[in-house]
A = this chain, B = another copy of it.
Amino acid sequence: MVTLKEIAKECNVSPTTVSNILNGKPKVGDDTKQKVLETVDKMGYKPNYIAQGLRRQKTRTIGIIAEDIVQFTTPEIVEGIMSNCEEKGYRTVVKNLRLYARWQDTWYGNESSYHSILDPALQELESIRVDGIIYVAGHARIINCFPQDFPIPAVMAYAFSNNPDIPSVVIDDQSAAWEIVSYLISKGHTKIGVIGGMKNNIHTQQRLLGYQKALFENQILYNPNWVRYAEWEKEGAVREARELFKTEVTAVFCMADRMAGGAYACLDEMGLRVGVDMAVAGFDNQNIAEFFMPGLTTMALPLKEIGDRAANILLQKIQGGEEPEEKLVCIPCTLIERQSVHQIKKE
């Protein structure tokens, strides 16, 4: 591989001059500059980022820690981070924790097993001397991932840090739930069931609040019997839907598209038609939603934007040294209207 020094020798100048030219420093003559640039091109010189990093003590590299890269939310968040970083001349290195694969879909390991997975990844990023780190969670919760005095600037995406110094970028669950439940109400539904995720999960709780708020604003009584909890998966949702659809609900708000799939399956069992006999609303706008028949009305997650904002905050911190004024950024979701929610007459 050709080095600066070789370019310098070829042009009869010092390595310093070549370096100055390539880095756009002033005080170089036009003819020298041209000759050097030509030689660089001719000899196929590629700057050595390793050597640069060592000397500059800056790598222009951002570390991304992903809880699970095959989780459906992750690639798009990562892509949001990457494209923003790339635009600003930063590289990214992804470490995949494979959390859910390792915990065999239990969603929650214990704290010590978590740290035995996380800490080596963190170590590694420190050894690479990344300039900053973004942690991409698979689902929202409060995570104890960065120690109190963590030396590298960091940002959380899609979850909260228990360390108050770390900014977090999350979705606005409550408003999103409010929006889609309000939509159901606008279509004439007043008896609206809910199939939530895990009961103590932040997504579930916030979305339930949004549901309650929408009901309250429309003076609809909140009936706790119509609120059921599955485990974010289709099977549990089928089970809960069977019970729920014994009641007089005309619509159901499922807190995940996968669970809406369970509601569809249950209705199919019962010989009822989605969007005709029962309205179903989802959440996530996972790619499966458009293949449901009829298409699932749902809330689209602003995944790419989450990554984008997280990167913005981190890079601002790194480049300008400024702390963001808001430590918690909530991004709104978007209603995607398909055919699973029908209009009914008000009673």
Contact = CB atoms under 8 A, between A and B. Distances in A.
Interface of A: 1, 46-51, 53-54, 59, 69-70, 72, 74-76, 78-79, 82-83, 91-94, 96, 98, 123-124, 126-129, 151, 234, 258, 261, 264-265, 268, 286-288, 290-293
A286 B288 CA distance: 9
A299 B78 CA distance: 28
Given A50-B53, A265-B293, A291-B291, A82 B59 contact: no
A96 B49 CA distance: 19
A291 to B, nearest CB: 5
Q: SS class of chain A's interface: helix, strand, loop or mixed?
A: helix
B293 A291 contact: no
Copies of this chain present: 2
B54 A51 contact: yes
A291 B234 contact: yes
B75 A128 contact: no
Contact of A127 (B49, B126, B234, B288): B49
A114 B268 CA distance: 47
Given A129-B50, A291-B234, A94 B96 contact: no
Contact of A123 (B46, B94, B124, B290): B46
29 contacts: A1-B129, A1-B151, A47-B127, A48-B54, A49-B128, A49-B129, A50-B53, A50-B54, A50-B59, A50-B129, A69-B78, A69-B82, A70-B79, A79-B96, A79-B98, A82-B94, A83-B96, A83-B98, A91-B128, A92-B93, A93-B93, A261-B291, A264-B293, A265-B293, A268-B293, A287-B287, A288-B288, A291-B292, A293-B293
Contacts of A265: 293
Contact of A79 (B51, B69, B91, B129): B69
A153 to B, nearest CB: 14
A127 to B, nearest CB: 5
Contacts of A75: 69-70, 74-75
Contacts of A98: 79, 83
A265 B51 CA distance: 58
A345 to B, nearest CB: 26
Contacts of A91: 93, 124, 128
Nearest to A265: B293
A24 B50 CA distance: 24
